[in-house]
């Protein structure tokens, strides 16, 4: 009998190829174009013990290792984080519209950043600046607020969903109030809201990596539980599952991933919603397959979008949130058509 | 040894759904739970499955139900609700493999033994040719067999079925009852099944629990309740009985 719940080698090779291609494009394209062989040569040089024997372009070396590689890594980790968080939310809510911002984290992060900007609060904590801290606290605070409302409303999944909608609406109205009151800050806030990847060396990558690794591991460990939740709750319990613990742990880990991602990149829409669906429609609907593949595809997709945003109106940059939706939406519409009623 | 309840009482949201019911059946029994809508049939099945808190005593083979399900590695209970979750995009083989979930751990996937057990379950339920089909595309009868195959994959000792034939046509209903009768006999599976189909269970079932408004109006051998007076009172409607040529009772 052929293996079930297994990531097929074909889908794994395609996903890794996408990551590699996005890596070459992200590193190679920009104001200074660096061909793929030179990129590979530079990496061989970087990791080589006999560096004196290889000739390299020092300027390209600086461009790659101090600017483009950190940006590629940040884009990959943010895309992967949002895609994994999307898997977690869709698994728990069993709703095709579920995305990482469902429980109000986008609105919370938006309000947090707005308050930091309009009151001109400037401080930093180790390598994290005040805007990132505002977004992180806002995003997690919103989710906790939704959870608190839900706990007092019967602790059911539909009540949590509705509490998230109410929290998001309330926080968005607060944010809009501050944006109108402090009109001069509107452009700065708006440019954060539509999402962008900005790196200053490796600081952002160092910030997100531990969150990513821990939360990814936790959500991946719950892959079988998420598959059981695709049945009814009672059936899941009888098959050895523990729905309540799964809801709590997966939503906590997904919310943490979302909070750290939005704090570093702003509100990049669409990735967390659509990447899990793309993997579900093209490869498998099992979370054992979806979680790792969504991480690879989500990371590759965001770095593709980032590269596109850097080169399309160069030397200026398009906000990445516009690009993810502009490229992703038509592709997803095509997939939906091809899926012929799978939703 | 067997399935024993004494003064079993269940409250849901402070409403008394099951009120001091008692029964005693040997292991390997085939028990049907009957009664009008709202009598507490589903609640009793869920309580037997260990899904609900209860007062009184409920034991399987002299062990408390909750402790048994929590601590025993060789006792498994399969519960199939009336409305089955049919996951989008899941193949039949994946659906049956979910029955092996409690035999795997956080890190390891299924091993050869799991594959062998699933294959055997598929073959026993005649589903081998459908294994790569999506469960969404299965017919009602095939879906019911799929739930039984999952229970076999789970190596269940106890099978709890909540109105399993409510969405099946006449022929599929008879096939289903024959199938679970065979499972009951061949594998010594204990079966508790809730139903309104008196005519079918009069042919296949051995024991019966009759519930009305949460109270146990009868528990024992099915032959004792196959009369017009008892069933007319239970369902509060006038029922007539005829005996078929092969000696079974039919009520209408």
What residue of B is the nearest CA neighbor of A232?
B85
Residue A297 predicted with pLDDT over 90: yes
Is A237 an interface residue toward B (CB < 8 Å)? yes
* A77-104 average pLDDT score: 90
3-class secondary structure, A51: helix
Provide the whole-model pTM: 0.88
CB A284 to CB B89 under 8 A?
yes
Q: Which residue would you say has higher pLDDT here, A193 or A294?
A: A294
Share of chain A above pLDDT 90, in %: 38
Top residue of B88, B110, B143, B156 to mutate, by most chain A CBs within 10 Å, is B88
User: Alpha-carbon distance A31 to B50, whole Å?
Assistant: 65
Q: Does A264 touch chain B (CB under 8 A)?
A: no
- B252 and chain A in contact, CB less than 8 A: no
A271 or A343, which is more confident? Answer: A271
How far apart are the C-alpha atoms of A34 and A328, rounded to whole Å?
A: 27
CB-based contact, A338 to chain B, within 8 Å: no
From B46, B78, B101, residue closest to A224, measured CB to CB: B101
Instruction: Return the minimum-mean-pLDDT range out of A313-317, A339-343, B212-216.
Output: A339-343
User: How close A335 comes to chain B (CA, Å)?
Assistant: 15
Distance CA(A56)–CA(A46), nearest Å, equals 10
Q: Say if residue B94's pLDDT is above 70.
A: yes
Among A338-342, B208-212, B247-251, name the one with the lowest average pLDDT.
A338-342
Residue A334's pLDDT is 83
pLDDT for res A48? 74
Q: What is the pLDDT of residue B74?
A: 62
Higher local confidence (pLDDT), B244 or B6: B6
Q: Which of A224, A230, A239 faces B154 most closely, judged by CB atoms?
A: A239
Q: What is the pLDDT of residue A204?
A: 85
The minimal CB distance from A1 to the residues B79, B91, B115 is found for B115
Helices (H), A121-242: 130-151, 157-181, 186-193, 203-221, 223-228, 233-238
**Residue-wise pLDDT tens digits, B23-37:** 999 999 999 999 999
Res. A58: pLDDT tops 80: no
Express each pLDDT in A156-209 by its tens digit: 888 999 999 999 999 999 999 998 888 888 888 888 888 778 777 888 898 889
Q: Which of A47-56, A223-232, A321-330, B150-159 has the lowest mean pLDDT?
A: A47-56
A186-214 residues labelled b (16+ CB within 10 A) or e (exposed): eeebeebbbbbbebeebbbbebbeebbee
Highest-confidence range of A168-177, B106-115, B196-205, by mean pLDDT?
A168-177
Predicted local distance difference test score (pLDDT) of residue A342: 61
Higher-pLDDT residue of A157 and A213 is A213
What is the secondary structure of A163-190 as a DSSP string?
Answer: HHHHHHHHHHHHHHHHHHHTGGGHHHHH
Q: Does B192 touch chain A (CB under 8 A)?
A: no
* 3-state SS class at A104: coil
* B93-113 mean pLDDT: 86
- What average pLDDT does range A30-35 have in this prediction? 82
Mean pLDDT for chain A overall: 87
Task: Report how far residue B1's alpha carbon sits from residue A336's, in angstroms, rounded to the nearest whole number.
Answer: 56
Q: Please tell me the least confidently modeled range out of A203-212, A295-304, B140-149, B236-245.
A: B236-245
B81/A285 Cβ within 8 A? no
pLDDT at residue A162, as a whole number: 92
User: Does residue B88 register a pLDDT over 80?
Assistant: yes
Determine the pLDDT at residue A329.
84
Query: What is the distance between the alpha carbons of residues A241 and A238, in angstroms, rounded to a whole number?
Result: 7
Task: Indicate if the pLDDT at residue A236 is higher than 80.
Answer: yes
Q: What percent of chain A has pLDDT over 70?
A: 97
A223 has pLDDT over 90: yes
Rounded distance between C-alpha atoms, residue B68 and residue B76, angstroms:
9
The Cα–Cα gap between A192 and A183 comes to 15
Query: Average pLDDT, stretch B92-106?
Result: 89
Buried/exposed code over B143-178 (b: 16+ C-beta within 10 A; e: otherwise): bbbbbbbbbbbbbbbbbbbbbbbeebeeebbeebbe
B101, B107, B154 ranked by CB distance to A228: nearest: B101
Using the Cβ of B78 and the Cβ atoms of chain A, whether some distance falls under 8 Å is answered with: yes
């Amino acid at each position: 009998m052929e293996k079930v719940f297994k990531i097929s080698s074909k889908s794994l090779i395609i996903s890794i190829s996408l990551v590699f291609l996005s890596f070459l494009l992200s590193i190679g394209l920009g104001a200074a174009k660096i061909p793929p062989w030179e990129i590979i040569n530079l990496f061989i040089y970087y990791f080589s013990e006999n560096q004196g024997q290889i000739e390299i372009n020092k300027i390209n070396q600086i461009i790659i290792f101090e600017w483009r590689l950190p940006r590629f890594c940040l884009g990959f980790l943010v895309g992967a984080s949002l895609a994994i968080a999307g898997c977690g939310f869709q698994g728990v809510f069993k709703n095709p519209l579920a995305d990482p911002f469902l429980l109000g984290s986008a609105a919370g992060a938006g309000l947090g950043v707005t308050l930091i900007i309009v009151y001109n609060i400037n401080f930093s904590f180790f390598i994290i600046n005040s805007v990132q801290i505002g977004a992180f606290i806002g995003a997690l605070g919103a989710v906790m607020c939704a959870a608190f409302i839900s706990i007092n409303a019967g602790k059911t999944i539909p009540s949590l969903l509705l509490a998230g909608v109410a929290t998001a609406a309330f926080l968005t109205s607060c944010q809009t109030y501050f944006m109108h009151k402090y009109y001069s800050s509107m452009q700065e806030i708006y440019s954060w809201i539509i999402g962008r990847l900005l790196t200053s060396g490796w600081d952002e990558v160092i910030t997100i990596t531990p969150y990513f690794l821990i939360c990814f591991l936790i959500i991946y460990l719950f892959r079988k539980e998420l598959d059981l939740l695709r049945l009814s709750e009672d059936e899941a319990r009888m098959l050895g599952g523990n729905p309540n613990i799964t809801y709590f742990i997966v939503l906590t880990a997904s919310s943490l991933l979302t909070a750290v991602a939005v704090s570093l990149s702003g509100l990049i829409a669409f990735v967390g919603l659509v990447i899990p669906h793309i993997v579900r429609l093209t490869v498998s609907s099992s979370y054992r397959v979806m979680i790792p593949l969504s991480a690879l595809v989500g990371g590759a997709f965001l770095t593709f979008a980032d590269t596109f945003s850097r080169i399309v109106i160069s030397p200026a940059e398009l906000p990445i949130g516009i690009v993810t939706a502009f490229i992703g939406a038509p592709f997803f519409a095509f997939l939906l058509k091809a899926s012929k009623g799978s939703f | 040894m067997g399935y024993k309840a004494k003064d079993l009482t269940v409250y849901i949201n402070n409403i008394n759904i099951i009120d001091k019911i008692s029964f005693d059946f040997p292991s390997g029994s085939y028990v049907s739970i009957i009664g009008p809508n709202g009598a507490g049939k589903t609640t009793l099945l869920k309580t037997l499955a260990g899904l609900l808190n209860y007062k009184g005593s409920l034991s399987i083979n002299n062990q408390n139900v909750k402790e048994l399900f929590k601590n025993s590695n060789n006792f498994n209970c399969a519960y199939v609700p009336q409305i089955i979750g049919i996951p989008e995009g899941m193949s039949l083989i994946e659906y049956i493999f979910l029955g092996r979930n409690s035999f795997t751990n956080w890190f390891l996937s299924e091993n050869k033994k799991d594959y062998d057990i699933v294959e055997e379950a598929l073959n026993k339920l005649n589903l081998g040719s459908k294994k790569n089909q999506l469960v969404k595309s299965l017919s009602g009868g095939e879906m019911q067999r799929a739930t039984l195959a999952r229970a076999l994959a789970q190596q269940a000792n106890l099978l709890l079925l909540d109105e399993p034939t409510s969405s099946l046509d006449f022929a599929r209903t008879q096939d289903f009852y024959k199938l679970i009768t065979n499972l009951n006999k061949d594998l010594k599976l204990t079966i508790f099944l809730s139903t309104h189909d008196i005519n079918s269970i009069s042919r296949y079932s051995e024991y019966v629990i009759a519930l009305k408004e949460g109270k146990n109006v009868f528990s024992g051998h099915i032959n004792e309740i196959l009369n017009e007076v008892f069933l007319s009172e239970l369902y509060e409607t006038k029922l007539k009985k005829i005996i078929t040529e092969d000696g079974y009772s039919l009520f209408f």
